[in-house]
Chain A
Amino acid sequence: MTAGGLILMVVSWATITALVVFCFGRIFRQKDGETEK
């Protein structure tokens, strides 16, 4: 595996993981907030 391949794989995986964590993080934070109310 070349360095370019490794970088593209890691960046793609990291971008998508960050997107999913951000989205579900926002949803669950709001859900907790609603429960507290």
Chain B
Amino acid sequence: MIIKQVMPAIRDTWGSRLAIIMAVAGSAIGLGNFLRFPVKAVANGGGAFMIPYFVSFLLLGLPLMWIEWTMGRYGGGFEHGTAPGIFHSLLRKNRFVKYFGVIGIFGPLVIFIYYTYIESWTLAYSVFALMGKYAGLADQASMQAFLRGFQGLEHNAHFSSMGWAYVFFLVTFFLNISVIYHGIRGGIERLCKVALPLLFACAIILLVRVLMLGTPSENFPERNIINGLGFMWNPDFSALKSAKVWLEAAGQIFFTLSVGIGVILTYASYLSRTDDVVLSGLTAAGTNELAEVILGGSIIIPAAFVFFGQGEMQAVASSGTFNLGFVTMPLVLNQLPWAGFFGFVWFLLLFLAGVTSSVSLAQPSIAFLEDEFDIDRKKAIVIFGSVAFLLCQPAVFLLGRGVLDELDFWGGTFFLVVFATIEVILFAWVFGMDKAWDEIHHGADLTLPKFYKWIIKYVTPLFLFFILGAWLWQEWGGIILMKKVTPECRPYIIATRLGLLAIFIVLCALVKIAWRRKRLHAEAKP
């Protein structure tokens, strides 16, 4: 057998320390910061929710952030940018550990195939806001009909097909691909340098506008912005006795920081061995919290309260994050002067939050092809783009059949917690806590307090086991047996599960092929 002699390509690097902080923060700041967080806070004790939220941040979010930054940088030193190679670098003697790392490519790929479609809705709505396409709609039912018509779930006076949705999906998909095509420094870094400040500017414009709402209707003096903030922040300390509230807070911290996906591993693999990870990880996490708690927590809920009042707000808050973003918020903004402009700013904010996250989701698959198969970036992007485009189609066309929710459960929820648990066990227990502690502090600009050694080794894994156990206990049976799925949707859900299993098996096979290829290559060397 002739083994092709391949020169490994020089790996891309970040242009500056701020660049990777912005890229990781951009990956973490997503739609959830502005839509999911305020809903969770209102439903789980208001201001009191911040107590379990901050505890989870310190015991779960930050340790996982540092673990992923450190593991990524360590693996990058061996020219591995994705979890299979990074896990293999940590435990070279074990042949199977690399297969656990497949989740770190599978998860982001699965999220990418539905997240890009949702992101395209925000782009479409920002254009619709400028065009005044939904300007005349004044109630929840008509705005709902507009959304359902756009998504192709029904034909109505607003949309006769899902043509517009598909056009915006194509634009968003190819925008993502073109950013990734330009590489780490020329694509992702440049995007984040522009998009993140712009995102904060949009959020601040909306925050100032919301805080200036005062009391819009004299007929309802209690519907004022102070009470709106109170609706979000007034504490219900009795909620702290509920395990569910602690679980929700831990879940929110987990998802908001983009840990357990595999993206941070890949981004950190482009660091050099002497680059700091402690201060950089803390800065990225802090920037995400700024966007979530200060900006995300002060825009949508107070604004909706001022226009709908306390009675309707309970229904609005429990109507789900999509309704809040695509139905309630446009209705609120429609009642303001310059409605088109503020609607545009709101959806541009969501689009920027989405695009900085989606490009990060594509990177692990591309890094895997580049690092483990020595494929050059452009070819890797063509392969990834073609496969991802095909995989996106069920999420686009079978939205009403529950495919998107199913993908979100496996790719965006379940496997994240599983992967984070594997990471922390591997890092703190298998690699060894003493070595891990030294590795974290290599080149560090901050020294972590000693008790974090104990937290990373014991508290974070226990916290993750608790979350995983509680989910399995509460939801596993219902989800596996599809108890909430209607009979006509079941075949689609089963097909989605089989499809996901096939993707996972193919990725495992690719890992096997890549390592065999490397072994043969090493043996062929004189």
Query: A and B: partners?
Result: yes
Residue of A with least CB distance to B282: A23
The docked-state distance in angstroms from the alpha carbon of A24 to that of B46 is: 29
B289 within 8 A of A: yes
CB pair A8–B286 under 8 Å, yes or no, is no
Question: A23 CB to closest chain B CB, in angstroms?
Answer: 4
CB pair A13–B230 under 8 Å, yes or no, is no
Interface residues of B in 192-236 (CB under 8 A from A): 226-227, 229-230, 232-235
CB pair B233–A16 under 8 Å, yes or no, is no
Residue of B with least CB distance to A8: B47
Residue of B with least CB distance to A15: B54
Question: Which residues does chain B contribute within 8 Å of A1, judged by CB atoms?
Answer: 226-227, 229-230, 233-234
Candidates A2, A6, A9, A16; contact of B290 at CB < 8 Å:
A16
Question: Which residues does chain B contribute within 8 Å of A6, judged by CB atoms?
Answer: 233
What per-residue 1/0 map shows which CB atoms of B268-283 lie under 8 Å from chain A?
0000000000010011
A26/B279 contact (C-beta < 8 A), A5-B233, A8-B50, A9-B233 known? yes
Question: Which residues does chain A contribute within 8 Å of B47, judged by CB atoms?
Answer: 4-5, 7-9, 12
The docked-state distance in angstroms from the alpha carbon of A7 to that of B283 is: 25
Question: Which residues does chain A contribute within 8 Å of B282, judged by CB atoms?
Answer: 19, 23
Question: Which residues does chain B contribute within 8 Å of A23, judged by CB atoms?
Answer: 279, 282-283, 286
Residue of A with least CB distance to B49: A8
What per-residue 1/0 map shows which CB atoms of A9-31 lie under 8 Å from chain B?
10011011101100110110011
Residue of A with least CB distance to B280: A27
CB pair B279–A20 under 8 Å, yes or no, is no
Question: Which residues does chain B contribute within 8 Å of A19, judged by CB atoms?
Answer: 282, 286, 289
- From DSSP, what is the main secondary structure of chain A's interface residues? helix
Question: Which residues does chain B contribute within 8 Å of A12, judged by CB atoms?
Answer: 47, 50, 54, 293-294
Candidates A5, A8, A15, A27; contact of B283 at CB < 8 Å:
A27
CB pair A16–B289 under 8 Å, yes or no, is yes
The docked-state distance in angstroms from the alpha carbon of A30 to that of B483 is: 56
Q: How many residues of B contact A (CB 8 A)?
A: 27
Candidates B227, B229, B233, B286; contact of A20 at CB < 8 Å:
B286
Question: Which residues does chain A contribute within 8 Å of B54, judged by CB atoms?
Answer: 12, 15
Residue of B with least CB distance to A24: B283
CB pair B234–A5 under 8 Å, yes or no, is yes
Residue of A with least CB distance to B292: A16
A16/B293 contact (C-beta < 8 A), A8-B47, A23-B282, A26-B446 known? yes
CB pair A20–B445 under 8 Å, yes or no, is no
Q: How many residues of A contact B (CB 8 A)?
A: 21
CB pair B48–A13 under 8 Å, yes or no, is no
What per-residue 1/0 map shows which CB atoms of B59-96 lie under 8 Å from chain A?
00000000000000000000000000000000000000
Question: B225 CB to closest chain A CB, in angstroms?
Answer: 10
Question: B311 CB to closest chain A CB, in angstroms?
Answer: 18
CB pair A8–B235 under 8 Å, yes or no, is yes
Question: Which residues does chain A contribute within 8 Å of B279, judged by CB atoms?
Answer: 23, 26-27
Candidates B50, B230, B289; contact of A2 at CB < 8 Å:
B230
CB pair A5–B230 under 8 Å, yes or no, is yes
B161 within 8 A of A: no
A26/B445 contact (C-beta < 8 A), A5-B234, A16-B294, A20-B286 known? yes
Question: Which residues does chain A contribute within 8 Å of B178, judged by CB atoms?
Answer: none
Candidates B46, B227, B286, B446; contact of A16 at CB < 8 Å:
B286
The docked-state distance in angstroms from the alpha carbon of A9 to that of B228 is: 13
Question: A30 CB to closest chain B CB, in angstroms?
Answer: 6
What per-residue 1/0 map shows which CB atoms of B110-133 lie under 8 Å from chain A?
000000000000000000000000
Question: Which residues does chain B contribute within 8 Å of A31, judged by CB atoms?
Answer: 17
B496 within 8 A of A: no
The docked-state distance in angstroms from the alpha carbon of A24 to that of B279 is: 9
CB pair A13–B287 under 8 Å, yes or no, is no
Residue of B with least CB distance to A30: B445
Interface residues of B in 437-481 (CB under 8 A from A): 445-446
Interface residues of B in 287-335 (CB under 8 A from A): 287, 289-290, 293-294
The docked-state distance in angstroms from the alpha carbon of A12 to that of B237 is: 16
Question: B450 CB to closest chain A CB, in angstroms?
Answer: 20
**A residues bordering B, Cβ < 8 Å?**
1-2, 4-9, 12-13, 15-17, 19-20, 23-24, 26-27, 30-31
17 A-B contact pairs sorted by A residue (CB < 8 Å): A1-B226, A1-B230, A4-B234, A5-B230, A5-B235, A9-B47, A12-B54, A16-B289, A16-B294, A17-B290, A20-B283, A23-B279, A24-B283, A26-B279, A27-B279, A27-B445, A31-B17
Q: A8-B235, A9-B232, A27-B283 are in contact. List 14 more A-B contacts (CB 8 A).
A: A1-B230, A2-B230, A4-B47, A5-B46, A5-B235, A8-B47, A9-B47, A16-B289, A16-B294, A17-B294, A19-B289, A20-B290, A26-B279, A27-B21
When A and B form their complex, which 8 residue pairs have the shortest distance between CB atoms, in order from nearest?
Answer: A1-B230, A8-B47, A5-B234, A23-B283, A5-B233, A19-B286, A9-B233, A20-B286
